[in-house]
Amino acid sequence: MFDTEDTICAIASAAGQAQRGIVRISGPNAAKCLEFLLTDPVDLQQVQQPTVLSSTVQIGEFPPCRAQLYFWPDHRSYTRQPSLEVHLPGAAPLLQAALNQFCQQPGERIRIAEPGEFTMRAFLAGRLDLTQAEAVLGVIDAADQQELAVALSQLAGGLNKDLQDLRNKMIELLAHLEAGLDFVEEDIQFISQEQLHRQVSAVAKQLETILSQLSSRLVQTSHVRIVLRGRPNVGKSSLLNALVEEEVAIVSDVAGTTRDYVTRQLNIGGIDCTLIDTAGVELTVEQLSAIESEAQAKTSRQSKISHVEIFCIDGSRELVAWETEQLQPAPQAMRVIVCTKCDLPGFIAHAMADVVTSHTPQGVVGLRNHLQSVLRQQATQGPVVQQTAARCFDSLETATQSVRRALELCERQWVEELIAAELRTALNQLGLVVGNVYTDDILDRIFSTFCIGK
């Protein structure tokens, strides 16, 4: 952990040629740094508010030059410390000479900033939360206007607003629960079972929405898991073989041929994917053998941990009730509905299908193109920057699981102590996301990825 009482300095403008360059300083001795620069003395002790000065400065052996000086004497700066920005001609040797002059001030404790140290000071001072701090890096690393818009939205507090709203709801809910536990022997009801169930259900839905958004953002650079799911004999294995252009899954007209899941690697539009062919979902689970039951359990597990679901429906027949039911709710993962067997007589192009295809290599061209489009779109439309999604996903997933367990306990009308314990776990995980709870290791891991000067 860095000493926040040091005065730090760094070149804050991007490397390369530019008309202007910026040297940034923050810490107790920022004002003294400015005094050493000016050719005409200025009494900075009289400066009580953020000020812009245009003055001539002398830097090393270079001829005197004009500079814009932005000085924040108090807590209104980015770091909530006295801060200074020196805007100079953008010559790299001049900027480096200014940096050297600051660090060599006799008797002054001024050093070069570590990566991300300015933003970390802003976080520690309460100027930003962790999600906003990561958005600063998102702005720096943005590759296009879409990524820049996402980062700026997060920096403005978009994600933080949702998370803080969620935390406030959970804190209020816990307050009512624990008040009831404290006065359990009194005839006082702080929250009814119906109200408890309704509020926990609302929190669960809000968490699941945020988790789904983070999952879609992880598609950008993470390895994507794509599961093929549907009833037996709807053409999942044929699709897998056609997509990877290899006979890796056994194909048969006999329903239930696939018992274990089969995986293959595939690159779709530059994104590395794992395709997972699963056993067809059986409707009469009571009559299944032990092997068939295990196959169904594996199908369920693979569906839960995948980013994209290819839901296959057989176009040679009408939908069964289970398929109609599955297509009603929005899935947690991205879903692509594929109507298969378009080469068979009596084919029906179901209206809800995103893609119509057959098992031939030519027939899956449309499916590959659609998957590529969906993955690219989701990669740039996530509401958070990539680093935040990667850091927060595990914490939010744990919080979501805890709230789901709390909801199950509400439905069973179990003791409120257990419900409160699950909600406290979820609340702690949300604290990790926004930075109310953190360790030095977490901060080091986040801010070490920044460039110096930010």
Q: For position 87, what pLDDT does the model report?
A: 92
Q: Are residues 229 and 338 in the same domain?
A: yes
For 231-375, where are the E strands, in sequence order?
262-268, 271-277, 308-314, 334-340, 355-356
Six-digit token pair at 346? Answer: 């009596």
> What's the CA gap between 294 and 138, in Å, rounded?
43
Contact in structure between 326 and 350 (CB atoms under 8 Å): no
> Which of 75, 108, 129 is where one domain is finished?
129
Rounded CA-CA distance 228/357 in Å is 14
Give strand pairing partners of 110.
Answer: 7
- CATH, residue 14: 3.30.1360.120
- Same domain? 252 vs 355: yes
The mean pLDDT value for 1-18 works out to: 80
Do 165 and 112 lie in one domain? The reply is: no
Q: In terms of domains, do 224 and 281 share one?
A: yes
Examine the domain organization and report whether 92 and 164 are in the same domain. no
Domain end marker among 108, 129, 150: 129
Nearest CA to 424 out of 397, 439, 403 is that of 403
Residue 238 and residue 124 share a domain: no
In a domain, residue 142? The reply is no
Average pLDDT of span 43-56? 79
How do 355-356 and 334-340 pair as beta strands?
A: parallel
In a domain, 442, yes or no: no
* Distant-in-sequence, close-in-space partners of 71: CB < 8 Å, separation ≥ 6: 30, 31, 34, 44, 47, 50, 51, 52, 53, 83, 84
Euclidean distance between the first and the last CA atom of the chain, given in angstroms as a whole number: 16
How many Å apart are CA 318 and CA 381, to the nearest integer? 35
The DSSP code for 392 is H
The pLDDT of residue 380 is above 50:
no
Q: What is the mean pLDDT of residues 31-53?
A: 75
pTM over 0.75: no
Residue 288 and residue 165 in one domain: yes
Among residues 43, 31, 38, which one has the least CA distance to residue 66? 38
Q: Is residue 226 one of the residues assigned to a domain?
A: yes
Indicate whether 370 belongs to any domain: yes
Mean pLDDT of the chain: 76
Q: Quick one: how far is CA 352 from the chain centroid?
A: 30
Domain assignment present for 64? yes
The rounded distance, in Å, linking the Cα atoms of 240 and 320 is: 23
| 113 and 198 part of one domain | no
CA distance 386 to 151: 9
DSSP letter assigned to residue 22:
E
Between CA 223 and CA 332 the distance in angstroms is 18
Provide DSSP, 261-288: -EEEEEEETTEEEEEEE-PPPPS-GGG-
Q: How many CB atoms lie within 10 A of CB 445?
A: 11
- Is 45 part of any domain? yes
pLDDT tens-digit series, residues 262-297: 788 888 877 778 888 877 776 555 555 555 555 566
Counting the structural domains of the chain, the total is 2
Residues 92 and 22 in one domain: yes
Q: Which has the closest alpha carbon to 332: 312, 309, 353?
A: 309
Structure token digits, residue 268:
């779709």
Asked if the model's pLDDT at residue 341 lies above 80, the reply is yes
Q: Do 105 and 182 belong together in one domain?
A: no
Both 216 and 293 in one domain: the answer is yes
Could you tell me if residue 147 is inside a domain?
no
Q: Give domain status of residue 362, yes or no.
A: yes
Residues 17 and 115 both lie in one domain = yes
The range of the structural domain enclosing residue 232 comes to: 159-434
Contacts of 131 (CB under 8 A, 6+ apart): 154, 159, 160, 163, 384, 388, 392, 433, 434, 435
Model confidence over 168-205: pLDDT tens digits? 888 888 777 776 565 545 555 556 778 878 888 888 88
Please write the tens of the pLDDT for every residue from 109-136: 788 888 888 888 888 888 887 778 777 7
Please name which of 364, 427, 366, 443 lies closest in space to residue 395, comparing C-alpha atoms. 427
List the CATH number of the domain containing 226: 3.40.50.300
Is residue 232 within 8 Å of 280, Cβ to Cβ? yes
